[in-house]
Structure 1
Amino acid sequence: MALTQSAVSQQIRQLEEQVEQPLFEYVGRKLYLTEAANSLLAASEDIFARLESLDMSLSTLQGNLQGELRLAVVSSIQYLTPHLLAAFREHYPGVSFRLEIATRGQVIQRLRDNLDDVVLMGLVPEDRALEFFPFLNNPIIAVANTDHPLARRSDLSLAEIEGVMVLQREPGSGTRKASDDFLQEKRVHLQQSMQLGSSESLIQGAIAGLGIALVSGHAASAFIRSGALVRLDFTELPLYRSWCAVHARGKRLSPVAQAFLAFLRSERAQIRGLAEQFNA
């Protein structure tokens, strides 16, 4: 910022004189915010968010919605999301995006910290004050490389999954939770399993021949089309869950965020058409 350390220190002192309370405290060599500083920070962020929302509202009144959409998504839907954003931007070319890809646990933490306008995820936690609505089916399928013994067979019984190595996401993942609940409901018990930490690692593990993977069809479709993976023909799959748009209950949504949610609600046919290219 082209400021010397002493200039910054003087500005901090002036700010503390304005609020008549200390804003920082040192413990050892580390700097911490005081309770007054946290209150000031929250108020400042709220002010800037309101100004940003005002800019968006004024641009909307002029018939030209502008602003940034802050979006976080779980990794399983990261391949589809840019296509959703491109379709939304056709309606509102003045909008820009900031997209974060995260695990389900990280997305839940981001919701708690109010870091994003909207979150796209599968399994919405029930113990939090959240507003959400489903906007698209999420098919969970089984995939393997072309040399896997099950790849050459059809009409597979789900019980046959018990005798092979199954690659799974980490506990807490929406795909893992949906798969575990489904297998338990079908009374299928995995004898061999291996835990990998992302949809991408599951897909690459299946390509490498580590085992079969239970993944979102949207994440695996490009690899199936290229021939790197085969969708296994289990008669009881795919397992269908829903992708949901989520935000904190009572959150003041910006005009851009409101427009994006309205797009997800009203353009279901267009969104299903975009998803078709990801249906393996």
Structure 2
Amino acid sequence: MNVTFRQLRLLEAVARHSSFTRASEELHLTQPAVSTQIKQLEEEVGMPLFEQMGKKIFLTEVGKEVYAFSRAIAQQFRDIESVLDDMKGVKRGTLALTVTSTGKYFAPYLLASFLKRYPGTQVHLEVANREELVQQLQDNTPDMVIMGTPPDNIELQSQAFMQNPLVIIAPPDHPLVGVNRVPLSRLVEENFILRERGSGTRNAVERFFQQRGIKFKASMEMSRNEAIKHAVMAGLGLGIVSLHTLEFELELGRVAILSVEGFPIMKEWYMVHRSGKRMSPIAQAFREFVLNEADRIMKLPQPKPVTRSRRRVTRS
């Protein structure tokens, strides 16, 4: 079978973007050139790698297998570049970074500051849910991962670099807004809109309430923080999200943070990579930059003052 690295690289880009157009733009090629290379790859494999449904394209089962190999091969090429860069002492190159869906709210600010110091760096930033992110760590594809609590079933190197407070949010006209230290027992009457099961936020919330013997009503599950915030604004219930996600909503007064005993739940953000991974000079530089500079660069959003008279709620 005569398969080229160029074809595998194109396959990886098309699969990652789910688009021939965006893949061609990333690689500075024409769309017909990309389509031709993928067609030639399919001829070599002897089976289709993509299928189209409407305007969307998806990997076939065979395509998924080839895609997994293409990512592994691409990582090996990056490792070769890392060795050569290390020997040359080069402080530029490509950084492959994956962040959780909550991490996307602050990662661009870290990258912007980093790129001022290392302007020759090309960044590939990917946003993934926890399940996808753990799979990437198992496959050893990204240089670095930013996530909440790292999994304990993979050999990893991880280091905390910044706090991640989880807060309870409500629409501004909710009766508990402005109440000081709402008892947890009061929350059993409320409907909660939470992240999907398996997410780092959901795991932390469930563990918090279970440890205190409090049952709460998870009336809705959503896989995106934006969806949770909009549901809260619409009055569908209370939400629990990272404070990092709330900059604009707090500034505009669209949601309010409740004062609840035991909250915020204090988690941490971690820089994570596989144990024994050969880090490129630029990946090492980014890791050290984040560990040393994140707290200085990132400032947590501040709630707007609540004009409602503050009062205590008696415990039920």
Shorter-chain TM range is 0.7 to 0.9
C-alpha spacing 1:25/1:90, structure 2 compared with 1 (3 Å):
same
What secondary structure sits across from 2:226 in the alignment?
A: helix
- Identify the match of residue 150 of structure 2 among 102, 124, 130: 124
1:93 aligns with 2:122: no
Which residue does the alignment assign to 1:113?
139
Alignment of 1:1-280 (within 5 A): 1=33, 8=40, 24=45, 26=47, 32=62, 44-45=73-74, 48-54=77-83, 56-57=85-86, 60-61=89-90, 65-265=91-291, 267=292, 270-278=293-301, 280=303
Give the Cα–Cα distance (whole angstroms) in 2 for the partners of residues 193 and 57 of structure 1: 52
Partner amino acid, structure 2, of 1:113: D
Contact 2:72 2:141 (8 Å CA) reproduced? no
> Which residue does 1:20 correspond to in 2?
none
- In 1, the alpha carbon distance for the partners of 2:69 and 2:131 equals 28
Q: 1:86 to 1:182 in 2, by over 3 A?
A: same
* Offset of residue 47 of structure 1: 5.1
**SS of the counterpart of 1:223?**
helix
C-alpha change, 1:3 and 1:214, in structure 2 (3 Å) is: closer
Residue 308 of structure 2 is matched in structure 1 by none
SS of match in other structure, 1:179: helix
Secondary structure, aligned partner of 1:175: helix
Which residue identity lines up with residue 264 of structure 1 in the other structure? V
Cα distance 1:126–1:51, how it changes in 2: closer, same or farther (>3 A)?
closer
Separation in structure 2 between the aligned mates of residue 126 and residue 164 of structure 1, nearest angstrom: 33
Q: How big is the shift at 1:263?
A: 1.3
Structure 2 CA distance for partners of 1:151 and 1:116, relative to 1, 3 Å: same
RMSD between aligned residues: 3.1
What is the identity, as a one-letter code, of the residue corresponding to 1:208?
A
Secondary structure of 1:209's aligned partner: coil
Aligned 8 A contact 1:218 1:279 in 2: no
**Where in structure 1 are there 5+ consecutive unaligned residues?**
13-23
Distance 1:31 1:79, change over 3 A: closer
Asked if the contact 2:171/2:235 (under 8 Å) is kept, the reply is: yes
1:117-159 CA distance string (max 9 Å, x none):
1111102111111111111111000001112121142221122
Q: Secondary structure at the match of 1:195?
A: strand
Alpha-carbon shift at residue 25 of structure 1 (Å):
5.2
Give the distance between the partners of 1:134 and 1:116, measured in 2 at CA.
Answer: 18
User: What TM-score do the two structures reach when normalised by structure 2?
Assistant: 0.72
Q: Distance in 1 between matches of 2:103 and 2:71?
A: 31
List runs of 5+ in structure 2 lacking aligned partners.
1-32, 51-59, 304-316
Aligned AA (2:202): R
